Homo-oligomer: A and B are copies of this chain.
Amino acid sequence: MPVMDRLKKISGTAAIVGVAESDEIGRTPDKGPLELHAEAGRNALADAGIDKSEVDGVFTAGYSTYDVAEYMGIKPHFTDSTSVGGSSFVIHIAHALAAIQAGYCEVALITHGQTGRSDRARAGGNPGLPSAQYETPYGIIGPPVSYSMACRRYMHQYGEDKTREAMANIAISTRKWANKNPRAFFYDTPMTFDEYHDSRWISWPFHLPDCCLVTDAGAAIVITSTERARSTKKGAVRILGAAEGHDHSLLHQMPDLTMPFGRNTGPQALEMAGITHSDLDLAMIYDSFTYTVLVTLESLGFCKPGEGADFVADQRTAPGGDFPLNTSGGGLSYTHPGMYGIFTVVEAVRQLRGETGERQIDDCKLAMAHGTGGLLASTGTVILGRD
């Protein structure tokens, strides 16, 4: 089990000093995924005011660090290509914190790039994996099918109407945030409750607006020691808490379809940071689906199991509400190229810095970014604080 005494010692010893997206996000048919990595990486380094030649730690998922580093012309002394789906880039922050503290590297660059919308070719699956034998043949293919199956179980335990109401609240409040973010896919497209309920089914119980977008996008993060962070362009957003883990791979192996691994990573990250839920000014919770947010809020301990519907009731998570959630517009309405986790961090850093214009929340000092990867499988939680 993680050792809290040690974790507390490294809390705050590294900082995020640069974040960025690729030049364009949404639909970029003229650019390949590696180019999106490289653009985002360059932009994040510019955001930090750090030269590419200083980067000695490279972190990525989807591609190997070979491909990303070579493409960008970086020769890393530390590499991490841990891939656990959409949460990868969030857990990379924990890894970077340890690597910097250990002395393996000084400037860590985490990059992401996916052309989820414009892909010209898809990799074939590995027929040796259990999923190819035990889920795929039944048409249990892709996240919408699996997540909707988990959601149906939640409905059984806590009531279908209550669950539906929560999902609608999350879809609408997230859209309202997107309507304040010019880079959001649905910036110009509001949505009403009626439109939500009347929309078509993707995989019942999921309506179309219960499901994230499929976009092209890249993003990157620069991390360095708090010491080195002092001389960067925008200063430090400190990494106060970090935690990660997973408890299954295939959906049918998930111990409890209504309780993901955030039950461990939420408390660990908060304790490491020495804060509680109520200290947070912002929660960026991976929203691959509306259900992902509902079940994650409960597992992280923001409320008790089954109480998520009450927690998000009455548009409490929308602009002006008292629990700002996914202020970028999230994976549901801003962007979601496949592994969206890195974008939860980009938005959290920008809110902490006060850079988010019309959607800026007052007094944002402590934020949580939380990634989910695989089939509700891996979770990574980080707590970030403005100096």
A residues with a Cβ closer than 8 A to B are 1-10, 32-34, 56, 64-67, 69-71, 75-84, 91, 94-95, 97-99, 101-106, 120-121, 123-130, 242-250, 253, 261, 264, 268, 374, 377-378
Contacts and interface: CB of A to CB of B under 8 A. Distances in A.
A223 to B, nearest CB: 14
Contact of A98 (B99, B121, B124): B99
Most chain B CB inside 10 Å of its own CB: which residue of A8, A78, A248: A78
B247 A102 contact: no
B374 A2 contact: no
7 closest Cβ pairs, A-B complex: A6-B103, A66-B249, A98-B102, A7-B103, A3-B103, A70-B249, A98-B98
A168 to B, nearest CB: 31
A377 B66 CA distance: 8
Contacts of A67: 129-130, 249
Contacts of A244: 77-79, 104
Given A33-B128, A70-B250, 13 more contacts: A1-B105, A2-B56, A2-B78, A2-B104, A3-B103, A4-B103, A75-B245, A75-B246, A76-B246, A79-B91, A81-B84, A101-B102, A121-B127
16 contacts: A2-B105, A3-B103, A8-B103, A64-B84, A65-B82, A65-B84, A66-B84, A77-B244, A77-B245, A78-B244, A97-B102, A98-B102, A102-B102, A104-B243, A120-B127, A123-B125
Most chain B CB inside 10 Å of its own CB: which residue of A3, A94, A127: A3
Contacts of A125: 123
A2 B103 contact: yes
A84 B63 CA distance: 11
A22 B56 CA distance: 35
A3 B106 contact: yes
A109 to B, nearest CB: 14
Contact of A77 (B2, B70, B123): B2
Contact of A246 (B10, B65, B264): B65
B121 A126 contact: yes
B248 A70 contact: yes
Nearest to A68: B249
A248 B73 CA distance: 8
Nearest to A254: B70
A129 B64 CA distance: 10
A124 B123 contact: yes
A77 B243 contact: yes
Contact of A378 (B66, B121, B130, B253): B66
A98 to B, nearest CB: 4
A10 B103 contact: yes
Contacts of A124: 123-124
Given A98-B98, A123-B124, A70 B130 contact: yes
Nearest to A75: B247
